Chains A and B, each alone.
Chain A
Amino acid sequence: MSPALHTPRPAPPAEPGAGRGDAVVSVAAQRAEEPLYAHRIKVYPKSVSGRFRQIKWALLGLFLAIYYLVPWLRWDRGPGAPDQAVLIDLPGRRAYFLWIEIWPQEVYYLTGLLVLAALALFLATSLLGRVWCGYACPQTVWTDLYMLVERLVEGDRNARMRLDKMPWSVAKLARKAAKHAIWLGIALATGGAWILYFVDAPRTIGPILQGAADPGIYFFIGLFTVTTYLLAGWAREQVCTYMCPWPRFQSAMLDEHSVIVTYQAWRGEPRGKHKQGTGWEGRGDCIDCTQCVAVCPTGIDIRDGQQLECIGCGLCVDACDGVMDKVGRPPRLITWDTLANQEAKAAGRTQPIRWLRPRILIYLVMIGLVGAVMVAALAMRPTVELSILRDRSPLWIPLADGGLRNAYTIKILNKTWNRQDYRLAIEGLPAARLAVSGADDEQLVVSAQPDAVATYRVFVTVPAGATLPESTPITLAATHLASGEVARHGSVFLAPRP
């Protein structure tokens, strides 16, 4: 392992005589001496209340509601079509999102959506630091939910630490079992809801609950149950620190004007314990109570400055505000601020937040461009597409009268929910005659079933006597009889060397 990837910070100087026993110590500090394989240093986040905790609860409720309710939304697409608003039908090779239906070859819409999501994430990070990580990431949302369960069953930080140190007893076993049972229940509900995005929810939920659904469904429910349980119950902040690539490069989106969770060192230092009744002259506001470390879900000390593990959730802000209120100092010793403003404040000035910075404008323009391209592509999406597979063997067919024939397999994609008729025509080879295999119809009208691909073999025949180059570009056109919409596809007519 390269030290550059995981740069160990110097451990804070241990104060001689300072009792380490009950002290709240950051994970980084506890990692000073390590064997070849590191034990996870368990984080016991303390419960906290305050504005950012409230925002986190509200968003947690919102995101979980979206996650569990969306599969139940209905959307009428007419007869024969699924009426689930959001559905990824893997066996049917279709994805439905409200009025949009995506065929497998149109998966670039999904790519566009992912590009938009990435750009939005870049924008949010440049503006507000890791708000995604702290508030919206599923890992954060489910970990928060699991921690709530843990707190309700085992108690707050100190109670949990005591419980873990206790020898095994019936009471401890009961509490642990209860916690894991509830966790597994939540995990099961998570995995169970996930599968509903891939099947028709109202029709499948019954068989799923009765044990009569497809084994594949149970496999995926089991898979997502186990991963939810492991990631939110056991792995937690290790997912963010070790597994997730985003913290490794999100610093590229940050600059000194991004609003991030930061400790106002100019105001807090020099820190130290504060006795009630003594003055605040000649010292900082930080009373070194380590509440910011105690509440941190990743177990870091925000006073060490910006670090990889910080998910920007702002719970330390809430914790510190509570303490500042008690000791009668102004709130927001830990706050959301820009590094530029912090530097200015340390020098006695202020630096207003610069929202409109070149990188913000670039992200906005890129979001606008990608969004416009996607909207345009969706709006101009054809309802019929034609593709041609030219026969490779034989390349051409000499006929008895000296004429020449080429054979093609055509596929007509009917993206509507009705049976449609199309008239075929050939362009680019005036002498040629077009015929559909198996059809005597001179009209050359073929049809395609609703939401399906129709396959036909067609023959292009050039009569004897025509001199043709080895390769002649041709175009086949399928005209939708009802609307006049035309789908074209190019190919070539091959002939032996003259």
Chain B
Amino acid sequence: MPTKIEKDAVTGTMTTGHEWDGIRELNTPLPKWWLWVFYACIAWSLGYFVLYPTLPGVGGWLGWSQRAELADRMAAERARVQPMLDRIRTTAVADIPRSGDLHGFAIAGGRAAFADNCAPCHGAGAAGAKGGFPSLVDDEWIWGGDLDAIGRTIAFGVRSAHADTRQSQMPRFGLDGMLTPAQISDTAEYVLTLSGRAAVPAAAERGRTIFADQCVACHGEAGRGNLELGAPSLADRIWLYGGDKASIERSIASARGGVMPAWSGRLDEATIRMLTLYVHSLGGGR
């Protein structure tokens, strides 16, 4: 409640003229410059309001926008790295790892491109994912792990729409009635033995004959696979669609094969080369 503004007897300071429950407040003022800084901030905000985009749909007088600034900076950045990209395009891929700064640039560029384009299927760490997205960090390759092979796979894809795509198709032994369920089961038993695992001996023996008739052409005598045909090795511990017997039976019956898009039309050549070097450097490169 308002009271008279008067001098406080004890301190000699004026009161503010307010009283709460018998307590009056002394007026110990802020310095004037503080007030003026406050006014200056208000004036500043008015100018800011007009010069910069403030209301939705209304641009500021300066015509500045975050989107345009981002576009400018991206263009400037592209122009800045263009000489390096040109060098990557004109240097043989196999020579890049021996050329110091260019290799560092390529790996960094490849990492960025991988995160943008490849990570959704192959994972951020290139560890692959269940359902046919192969790991790129291990030492098993379906279509080859040297620089050339990796580069071809990235550029043209696997079973993609590109004319030069990696192409192969395993027959659907079960769905198309080529093998009976019993024969598929026997074959799966035999496939288990290829990677050194225990199997029912009689069934595996029957499966061996079927394997020799149907599978050897692509997967090879010992099941080591064939990089030219994209036929994966069946003799190791790495299984794209699961290595237990049920999974193997399903693979034989319905035939599986993933699709990877061709990147040659979407990414420029320098980026594909950087991706190639990056994937090669992840640990499995040959």
Chain A interfacial positions (CB closer than 8 Å to B):
1-3, 5-8, 10-11, 32-40, 235, 238, 242, 391-394, 397-402, 405, 407, 437-438, 457, 459
Q: Are A405 and B283 in contact (CB under 8 A)?
A: yes
Q: Are B135 and A394 in contact (CB under 8 A)?
A: yes
Residue in contact with A38 in the complex, picked from B30, B237, B283, CB distance below 8 Å? B30
Q: Are A393 and B97 in contact (CB under 8 A)?
A: no
Residues of B within 8 A of A437 (CB): 281-283
Q: Are A37 and B35 in contact (CB under 8 A)?
A: yes
Q: Are B125 and A394 in contact (CB under 8 A)?
A: yes
User: B5: shortest Cβ distance to chain A, in Å?
Assistant: 10
Indicate whether B167 reaches chain A with its CB closer than 8 angstroms. Answer: no
Total interface residues on B, using CB and 8 Å?
34
CA distance A348 to B124 in the complex (A): 85
Residue in contact with A1 in the complex, picked from B30, B35, B127, B137, CB distance below 8 Å? B30
Q: Are A400 and B32 in contact (CB under 8 A)?
A: no
CA distance A257 to B167 in the complex (A): 93
| Closest residue on chain B to residue A402 by CB atoms | B237
Closest 7 CB pairs of A and B: A393-B125, A394-B127, A400-B236, A38-B29, A8-B13, A400-B140, A10-B12
Interface centre among B12, B26, B127, B281 (most CB of A within 10 A): B12
Contact residues of A: prevailing secondary structure: loop
Indicate whether B44 reaches chain A with its CB closer than 8 angstroms. Answer: no
Q: Are A238 and B30 in contact (CB under 8 A)?
A: no
CA distance A1 to B7 in the complex (A): 17
User: B186: shortest Cβ distance to chain A, in Å?
Assistant: 25
Q: Are A401 and B236 in contact (CB under 8 A)?
A: yes
User: B29: shortest Cβ distance to chain A, in Å?
Assistant: 4
* Complex A-B: 21 CB contacts under 8 Å: A1-B28, A6-B28, A8-B26, A10-B11, A32-B13, A33-B7, A34-B14, A36-B30, A40-B31, A391-B125, A394-B123, A394-B125, A394-B135, A397-B127, A397-B283, A398-B237, A399-B237, A402-B236, A407-B137, A437-B281, A437-B282
Residues of A within 8 A of B28 (CB): 1-3, 5-6, 8
CA distance A34 to B26 in the complex (A): 11
User: B197: shortest Cβ distance to chain A, in Å?
Assistant: 11
Q: Are A400 and B139 in contact (CB under 8 A)?
A: yes
B 6-25 contacts with A by CB, 8 A? 7, 11-14, 16
Q: Are B33 and A238 in contact (CB under 8 A)?
A: yes
Residue in contact with A35 in the complex, picked from B29, B125, B282, B283, CB distance below 8 Å? B29
| Closest residue on chain A to residue B235 by CB atoms | A400
Residues of B within 8 A of A397 (CB): 127, 135, 137-138, 283
Residues of A within 8 A of B97 (CB): 438
Indicate whether B203 reaches chain A with its CB closer than 8 angstroms. Answer: no
CA distance A401 to B237 in the complex (A): 6
Q: Are A457 and B12 in contact (CB under 8 A)?
A: no
CA distance A185 to B125 in the complex (A): 58
User: A222: shortest Cβ distance to chain B, in Å?
Assistant: 17
Residues of A within 8 A of B138 (CB): 397-400, 405
Q: Are A39 and B26 in contact (CB under 8 A)?
A: no
Residues of B within 8 A of A36 (CB): 16, 27, 29-30
CA distance A34 to B28 in the complex (A): 8
A457 in contact with B281 given A8-B13, A33-B7, A407-B137 (CB within 8 Å):
yes
CA distance A79 to B128 in the complex (A): 48
User: B161: shortest Cβ distance to chain A, in Å?
Assistant: 30
| Closest residue on chain B to residue A36 by CB atoms | B29
A238 in contact with B29 given A33-B14, A397-B283 (CB within 8 Å):
no
Residues of A within 8 A of B185 (CB): none
Residues of A within 8 A of B30 (CB): 1, 36-38
Residues of A within 8 A of B125 (CB): 391-394
Residues of B within 8 A of A6 (CB): 28
| Closest residue on chain A to residue B8 by CB atoms | A8
Residues of A within 8 A of B16 (CB): 36
User: A38: shortest Cβ distance to chain B, in Å?
Assistant: 4
Interface centre among B16, B32, B123 (most CB of A within 10 A): B32
Indicate whether B238 reaches chain A with its CB closer than 8 angstroms. Answer: yes
Q: Are B31 and A242 in contact (CB under 8 A)?
A: yes
Q: Are B236 and A38 in contact (CB under 8 A)?
A: no
Indicate whether B271 reaches chain A with its CB closer than 8 angstroms. Answer: no
CA distance A464 to B27 in the complex (A): 82
Residues of A within 8 A of B139 (CB): 399-400
B 85-118 contacts with A by CB, 8 A? 97, 103
User: A432: shortest Cβ distance to chain B, in Å?
Assistant: 14
Residues of B within 8 A of A32 (CB): 12-13
Q: Are A235 and B29 in contact (CB under 8 A)?
A: no
User: B130: shortest Cβ distance to chain A, in Å?
Assistant: 13
| Closest residue on chain A to residue B108 by CB atoms | A455
Indicate whether B233 reaches chain A with its CB closer than 8 angstroms. Answer: yes
Q: Are B127 and A393 in contact (CB under 8 A)?
A: yes
Q: Are A3 and B123 in contact (CB under 8 A)?
A: no
Residues of B within 8 A of A393 (CB): 123-125, 127
User: B135: shortest Cβ distance to chain A, in Å?
Assistant: 7
CA distance A37 to B282 in the complex (A): 67
Residues of A within 8 A of B237 (CB): 398-402
CA distance A11 to B140 in the complex (A): 90
A37 in contact with B11 given A391-B125, A405-B283 (CB within 8 Å):
no
Residues of B within 8 A of A37 (CB): 29-32, 34-35
A38 in contact with B11 given A392-B125, A393-B123, A402-B237 (CB within 8 Å):
no
User: B30: shortest Cβ distance to chain A, in Å?
Assistant: 6
CA distance A402 to B235 in the complex (A): 11
Interface centre among A8, A238, A392, A402 (most CB of B within 10 A): A8
Residues of A within 8 A of B236 (CB): 400-402
A40 in contact with B135 given A8-B13, A10-B11, A394-B125 (CB within 8 Å):
no
Q: Are A8 and B11 in contact (CB under 8 A)?
A: yes
Residues of B within 8 A of A405 (CB): 137-138, 283
Interface centre among A7, A32, A399 (most CB of B within 10 A): A399
